[in-house]
Amino acid sequence: MGEAGTGAYGPGESMLDQLARVRLWLARHQILYAERELHPDPRSRHMFVSDAEFRDTLRAEGPDHAALEAIERELEALAGRIEARVEETLIEGGSAPLEELRAAFRLSDVEVDVIVALAAPEIEQRLARAYTNAWSDFTLKQVEVAFLMELLGPTWARQQELREALSLGSRLDEYLLIHSFGSDKWAPDTPLLYRRLKLSDRLVDFLLTGRGERLDRGLGRSARLVAAGPGALDGLLMPEEIKRGLVRVLSNSARERGARVALISPPGCGRKSLAAALAGMPGRRLLVLDARRLPQSAAELEVVLRTALRDAHLARADLYLDVPPSFCDDRLAPEARQALIDLLGWMPGTVYIGAEVEPEWLTMVSGVIVFRLPFPTVEVQEALWRRQLAGHATLDRDIPLEVLVSAYSLSGGAIEIAAREAIHQSRVTGAGRQVVISRSTVTACAQEQLSHRLGLLAEKVTQMLTWNELVLPDKTMNVLKDLVAQYRNQNRVFNEWGFNTKVAYGRGLTALFHGPPGTGKTMVAGIIARELGLELYKIDLSRVVDKYIGETEKNLGRIFDEATRSRAILLFDEADSLFSKRTQVKSSHDRYANLETNYLLQRLESYEGVALLTTNFEASLDEAFKRRLRFKIAFPFPDAKERGALWEAMMPGQAYVEGPLDFGGLGEHFEMTGGHIKNAMLRGAFSAAQQGSPITASILYEAATEEYREMGKLVRS
């Protein structure tokens, strides 16, 4: 009985020898509890305790010691042969799943025996039936703790080890290697001896196949395995000091627990790639768990996290928790947040926490080290574009790479997607010829990747007008063109010429457009965005300002963070309502209002993008803001000549007109800004369309008169 084979194990063979051990355990059990076999009706043995069994329990007479000693010798010999075969298998590069399991979870011999004993009835039906016979209970469908202690524990000391290994909160329980169930017969609390046990289905599959890459079905689509080669870290375009710091942290982490590393960065900046490369250094993989797909109830969240931890160990992987913004703040239920904190503190092995912003609860997790990954610099973005295009395509000459990068600031992930899509759209010829990507194709693909969450707090502004359609004083136009030129030369001045070492803050391009309503301030902001190839977002103050203390600062922080990532232009329209002068503190409301103003001041000063402010009341702005603005551009009320030019500029070339329209006379007669001239022009065009006639001078004069009256002004005869 229990004869093991020889030579290295083939796939799935190692469990056959383990089942031979189970048969020997059953033989020993039969000798130890022979009196259970004496009931005359075997079909109802589970319902009775025989007199012989009862007397045997009271007198504690020993069983057949010679037979027991023979079984123990056979078990010892079998263990030696198994050990030799395992060693030979590992030398030949084969798989020994049970030994891998022992190493992965640091299991003791007792815990390994429990797993083997619970696996046996899952693997072989005859052994399942033998278990019910040995326990004298044919209704038994799952193994009870009491039976397992009898099967594996011939001595009192051994049974106490088993009791510890099978208790709730033990290693087998914590890792979800076994599942424990209560019994209705013992409700509400089932004693440990009568709890029923089942081996995890995932564990049974691993023992039979040795395949660690199969993930538990309970994880659904929330988990996936990522692998990176041993040299992947060197190929990452990331600051060397960050890579060296992470390698140092991982090498110094306690072997029993592993490291806790938080990687904080905007989306697409390589958090997962970095974690996978670090895991790949010792030949491990990364199990990525997407928290957006996780349940938010504490009990369900705990089960999923423990399942992921177990499967990560089986797959020889580190765990990466991809945390969405909803898991970073108070939107996460307190019970779920506490469960997350507790589990991250307990979990052995290296765990990475990846997030866009640092979760508020992260400080409560013991031993976490935070690394902030920067948004890729211009040089890194150029290198990433070259890497993605190399061997596949080239850019058309009319859009050099440095021009593309200066117009569209993208993360590494966004560049990968944009380049792949541009290549796909441009691949119209057969293989073997170099694909050339046009300016329109690559800019459209890059623009597509600039989608971001600014739209939640701001309104996107699209402008179709150009500089040629503007009517402004020459002085104003010259300053505006100087603003555009400064933006285009930022990289040369700050990076190539080294001014970034002299200017610690205030490197952003900020401008105040001030003047009466309707003088074109918002329109010019749109033209600048169009000229620079950037998106323009007008801040919706109703979504930003919050009555609750601290919420306004949070909203402003999100705006500046997202604008930094996407390189969008921020437009604070009617900025006097947000950037007004600080008040004397007379109440708590004044104090918090001043805190918001101070926060705005700090963020505007540290912001390195483009921020445009418009106001009709320059005098109401806080002087501290004005000092920190690089440009202050006046939009004066237009004179008669400029008003005439505005009337003419507003008339489309394809409009249906008749006769001279006398734009100069309209400008002379009606003192309007460009906004009111636009309204009057549209009023006249719709009036002509309603009458079925062309646009004439008289129709425009009537429309201007109506607009003038609505402005509250007297019309001269």
Task: Name the token pair of 27.
Answer: 């033989």
Task: Name the token pair of 359.
Answer: 């979760």
Question: What count of other Cβ atoms lies within 10 Å of the Cβ of residue 207?
Answer: 22
- For the stretch 300-352, pLDDT in tens is 888 999 999 999 999 999 999 998 877 876 667 888 888 888 888 888 889 99
Helix, strand, or coil (residue 459): strand
Report how far apart, in Å, the C-alpha atoms of 580 and of each of 517, 601, 607, 611, 621 are. Answer: 18, 11, 19, 16, 5
Comparing 471-475, 501-505, 632-636, the range with the smallest average pLDDT is 501-505
CATH number of 378-448: 1.10.8.60
Peptide bond into 188 cis (omega under 30): yes
Torsion sign (Cα): 214, 216, 220, 224: negative
- For the stretch 97-108, pLDDT in tens is 999 899 888 899
User: What is the rounded average pLDDT of the residues 165-193?
Assistant: 86
- For the stretch 600-652, pLDDT in tens is 777 887 888 899 988 888 887 777 777 778 899 999 999 999 999 999 988 98
Helix, strand, or coil (residue 286): strand
Task: Confirm or reject CATH 3.40.50.300 for domain 217-372, answering yes or no.
Answer: yes
- For the stretch 259-315, pLDDT in tens is 899 999 888 889 999 999 999 988 899 999 998 888 878 888 889 999 999 999 999
Comparing 168-182, 533-547, 612-626, the range with the smallest average pLDDT is 533-547
Nearest Cα to Cα of residue 266 among 39, 564, 32, 476: 564
Residue 228 identity: A
- For the stretch 393-428, pLDDT in tens is 889 888 888 888 877 778 898 899 999 999 988 886
Report how far apart, in Å, the C-alpha atoms of 267 and of each of 352, 355, 666, 684 are. Answer: 16, 8, 53, 49
Torsion sign (Cα): 595, 599, 605, 606: positive
pLDDT at residue 607, as a whole number: 83
In the chain, domain spans: 14-209, 217-372, 378-448, 458-634, 640-710
CA angle 465, 471, 474 (to 5 degrees): 120
pLDDT at residue 555, as a whole number: 78
In terms of pLDDT, which residue wins out, 168 or 598?
A: 168
* pLDDT of 1 over the 60 cut: no
Helix, strand, or coil (residue 7): coil
pLDDT at residue 279, as a whole number: 92
Same fold, 217-372 and 640-710: no
pLDDT at residue 544, as a whole number: 73
In terms of pLDDT, which residue wins out, 328 or 56?
A: 328
* pLDDT of 527 over the 50 cut: yes
User: What is the rounded average pLDDT of the residues 529-544?
Assistant: 79
Given pLDDT bands bounded at 50, 70 and 90, which one contains residue 592? very low
Given pLDDT bands bounded at 50, 70 and 90, which one contains residue 590? very low
Given pLDDT bands bounded at 50, 70 and 90, which one contains residue 549? low
Given pLDDT bands bounded at 50, 70 and 90, which one contains residue 492? confident
pLDDT at residue 60, as a whole number: 53
CATH fold group of domain 640-710:
Helicase, Ruva Protein; domain 3 (1.10.8)
- For the stretch 648-704, pLDDT in tens is 988 988 999 998 888 999 999 899 998 899 999 999 999 999 999 999 999 999 999
User: What is the rounded average pLDDT of the residues 466-479?
Assistant: 87
* pLDDT of 587 over the 50 cut: no
| DSSP assigned state of 104 | H
CA distance 284 to 303: 24
**pLDDT > 90: what percent of the chain?**
32
User: What is the rounded average pLDDT of the residues 568-588?
Assistant: 66
Per the prediction, the chain carries an average pLDDT of: 83
Task: Assign domain 458-634 to a CATH class.
Answer: alpha beta
Nearest Cα to Cα of residue 265 among 274, 256, 257: 274
Helix, strand, or coil (residue 72): helix
Question: What is the layout of strands, in order, in the sheet containing 351-355?
Answer: 223-226, 285-290, 317-322, 351-355, 260-264, 368-372
For β-strands 569-572 and 610-615, DSSP reports them as: parallel
- Which H or E element spans position 386? helix 378-389
pLDDT at residue 271, as a whole number: 93
CA distance 316 to 245: 23
* pLDDT of 37 over the 70 cut: no
E strands in 432-479? 435-437, 458-461
In terms of pLDDT, which residue wins out, 500 or 60?
A: 500
Contacts of 112 (CB under 8 A, 6+ apart): 98, 101, 102
Contacts of 255 (CB under 8 A, 6+ apart): none
Task: Name the token pair of 226.
Answer: 């990522």
Report how far apart, in Å, the C-alpha atoms of 22 and of each of 140, 151, 202, 710 are. Answer: 18, 9, 21, 97
